[in-house]
Structure 1
Amino acid sequence: MTTTGTVNGSNEALRPHAEDAFAEELKALAAADDRPRPTRWNLSPWAVATYLLGGALPDGTVITPKYVGPRRIIEVAVTTLATDRALLLLGVPGTAKTWVSEHLAAAVSGDSTLLVQGTAGTPEEAIRYGWNYAQLLAHGPSRDALVPSPVMRAMSEGRIARVEELTRIPADVQDSFITILSEKTLPIPELGEETQAVRGFNVIATANDRDRGVNDLSSALRRRFNTVVLPLPATVEEEVDIVSRRVDQIGRSLELPEVPAGADEIRRVVTVFRELRDGVTGDGRTKVKSPSGTLSTAEAISVVTNGLALAAHFGDGVLRPGDVASGILGAVVRDPAADKVVWQEYLETVVRERDGWKDFYRACRETTAGR
């Protein structure tokens, strides 16, 4: 695979693929990995799990965690990919489904780019194959005129194909996967041929469980997947750790201040999101109304990253309440009528009375009044 966006040998991509961003870790794991590897896997299942969950290798190399959560979830996901069952990562928005999918593909196949992005307009060709119409008109159906989909390429190369937002794909297009996943073959009737999957091929799909009813999977297709549910972070500390790590990674690529400069505000943002999401304060004493949005970990990361950018470019580089206030308001108030009432009530009944939160309360009040 050729990676574009390099200048003088250094990668200038705004967001490198996982296999590029963590190439040194993957190389170190491969060198230290002496466990059995499934055919065409770059790493053993144990090493893939270590890459996702983090750890230290015998040579002292530190593998950074890519996923913070129950170890068993990752072990089940990795084990599924080593069988003939496809993997469906299910969860509410912001539970790192795409992130986990990308890193699993990078660790197993060394290539996370064989991707189908699911939308309401995803055609069957995106899953099966298309045609180069100039070649088709000039010479008729042939292998040269055929344009393989990412799934078809993964089948022929023994790699992992990724499908994002599976339930957003129209139901009749989804069913294109049934033969692929059950028979491990993709018929090409125009040529009287087929592409058979070689060992190493599998599919990782993601789906938002709030989209149930949009394009529900048929029972026949659902049986082809082993479903793994990715939960929201269990504790404040776990979510703060996730947000801090991701903001630090994003911040380095954008040349923003280091995360420790804003540790207090990160905890504050996470606390606000969790309390509004759960409908109760952290101490369990006060019930609060929840807004219409999901207030996911991914949104918390976005709020903090935007706040750090404000602090870097228009402040002193230290993340302060005023830097995150507008981002929180934008995340919470999706419905201008109902959500604004929920947010104002939370400010007055919870934030206003909380020790050490006066500056945050004042900044949020000023931002809310200005909208």
Structure 2
Amino acid sequence: MSQTNGTKTTQLRRAAEDAFAEELEALRGADDRPRPPNWLLSPQAVVTYLMGGRLESGFEVTPKYIGDRRLMEVAVATLATDRALLLLGTPGTAKSWVSEHLAAAICGTSRLIVQGTAGTSEESIRYGWNYALLLAKGPSREAVVASPIVRAMEEGRIARVEELTRIPSETQDSFITILSEKTLPIPELNEEIAAARGFNLIATANNRDRGVNELSSALKRRFNTVVLPSPATIEAEIAIVESRVAALGRAFEIPAEPPGADQIRRVVTIFRELREGVTADGKSKVKQPSGTLSTAEAISVVGSGLALAAHFGNGHLSAHDLVSGISGAVIKDPVQDAIVWREYLETVVKERSEWKDFYRAARESA
């Protein structure tokens, strides 16, 4: 439970439904379109919440996702049917972020979540037992410990599964009956749990991890897959980084000036060029490092640079504050990636007259 002191919360990170409660309330008040069973907003209002916009009252809804609106429309329309939604993409393409905000807008809670790992068990998806009650009274509904998935079924809400492909294949199959029959048998009680109207599931998966635990064809058929791409343009990626860094600065109360647009553009340019293997002007090819260099990593680099500037600098984000974060993001393999980074500095960064401060800082830290 969060505690508040005046208007501030002591909670390190608030769930989407709490952080954006005012926007969700404004949307509910203005929303007069038909809503699927047990939805708090209409599909159109959910997309407005995700993409941002101005309501007739003049209220501004901030964008949560900067990208193709059609992808969000497909995702929301999927959840209004009996198909589950799989958000697929490379690391850092906002899969978890979109999943959280979809659940918050549709059913009012994003907290019914299962984190997929190699150790995720069937009990995490289905149900477990309160062994004290089981021993005292024998098998009963009272002794059943419901998973977040079961709670979502009973309450008619959206459940979330993070990193579906990291869950062992034999455990993944626990979803098949839930998604196809919308029921979950409890053989020990000769009963079953039937999903209430409004229940659905959002899963995320990293498409670089497809070989970890490939989904069975039976499970794939239960999902409609929406692929979230990396930002199409540098301007879109800069807008994402700028927005998220500003939010992080407020959340962590970092006493530094907001980063200038030129510094964010520099970080995003480096990440995009190394990620795509070509300079922004298309004239020169560059070697690609082993890491993904995602938008999320760019946000982390700028955020870390702000903290350095605030606590160990003059409060203004400089090239010196950014260098260590960027090199740490690029160099995952200490041998091959280090070569890629040095070559990029000498053949690309050094030749840009407006980047001389960054080149000097990078050489000094090498």
Aligned letter for 1:43? L
Aligned residues: 366
SS in 1 for 2:224: strand
SS in 1 for 2:18: helix
Is the 1:123–1:173 contact (alpha carbons within 8 Å) kept by the matching residues of 2? yes
SS in 2 for 1:151: helix
Counterpart of 1:125 in structure 2 is: 123
Say whether residues 1:98 and 2:96 are aligned partners.
yes
Aligned letter for 1:248? A
Counterpart of 2:22 in structure 1 is: 24
Counterpart of 1:181 in structure 2 is: 179
SS in 1 for 2:189: coil
Counterpart of 2:326 in structure 1 is: 328
Trace 1:81-92 onto structure 2 (pairs within 5 A): 81-92=79-90
Identity %: 71
Counterpart of 1:348 in structure 2 is: 346
> Residues 169-189 of structure 1: CA distance to partner in whole angstroms, max 9, x if unpaired?
000100000000000000011
Aligned letter for 2:194? Q
Determine the C-alpha separation between the residues in 1 that align with 2:339 and 2:8: 49
Deviation at 1:9, TM superposition (A): 6.3
Aligned letter for 2:347? T
Counterpart of 1:266 in structure 2 is: 264
Is the 1:262–1:320 contact (alpha carbons within 8 Å) kept by the matching residues of 2? no
Determine the C-alpha separation between the residues in 2 that align with 1:313 and 1:159: 43
Counterpart of 2:162 in structure 1 is: 164
> Residues 149-196 of structure 1: CA distance to partner in whole angstroms, max 9, x if unpaired?
000000000000000000000001000000000000000111111110
Trace 1:33-112 onto structure 2 (pairs within 5 A): 33-112=31-110
Say whether residues 1:13 and 2:11 are aligned partners.
yes
Counterpart of 1:281 in structure 2 is: 279
Trace 1:143-292 onto structure 2 (pairs within 5 A): 143-257=141-255, 260-292=258-290
Deviation at 1:8, TM superposition (A): 5.0
Counterpart of 2:363 in structure 1 is: 365
Determine the C-alpha separation between the residues in 2 that align with 1:182 and 1:362: 59
Structure 1 residues 242 and 35: alpha-carbon distance in aligned structure 2, compared to 1, 3 A threshold: same
Determine the C-alpha separation between the residues in 2 that align with 1:92 and 1:168: 14
> Residues 79-111 of structure 1: CA distance to partner in whole angstroms, max 9, x if unpaired?
000000000000000000000000000000000
Is the 2:114–2:160 contact (alpha carbons within 8 Å) kept by the matching residues of 1? yes
The CA RMSD over aligned residues, in Å, is 1.0
Is the 1:89–1:230 contact (alpha carbons within 8 Å) kept by the matching residues of 2? yes
Determine the C-alpha separation between the residues in 2 that align with 1:356 and 1:278: 22
Aligned letter for 1:204? I
Deviation at 1:213, TM superposition (A): 1.1
Deviation at 1:257, TM superposition (A): 5.0
Deviation at 1:260, TM superposition (A): 4.3
Aligned letter for 1:67? Y
SS in 1 for 2:298: helix
Deviation at 1:136, TM superposition (A): 1.0
> Residues 215-272 of structure 1: CA distance to partner in whole angstroms, max 9, x if unpaired?
0000000000000000000011000000000000111011125774332111100000
SS in 2 for 1:190: helix
Trace 1:280-319 onto structure 2 (pairs within 5 A): 280-319=278-317
Gaps of 5+ in 2: none
Determine the C-alpha separation between the residues in 2 that align with 1:355 and 1:147: 63
Counterpart of 2:135 in structure 1 is: 137
TM-score of the two chains, using structure 2 as the length reference: 0.98
SS in 2 for 1:36: coil
Aligned letter for 2:260? G
TM-score of the two chains, using structure 1 as the length reference: 0.97
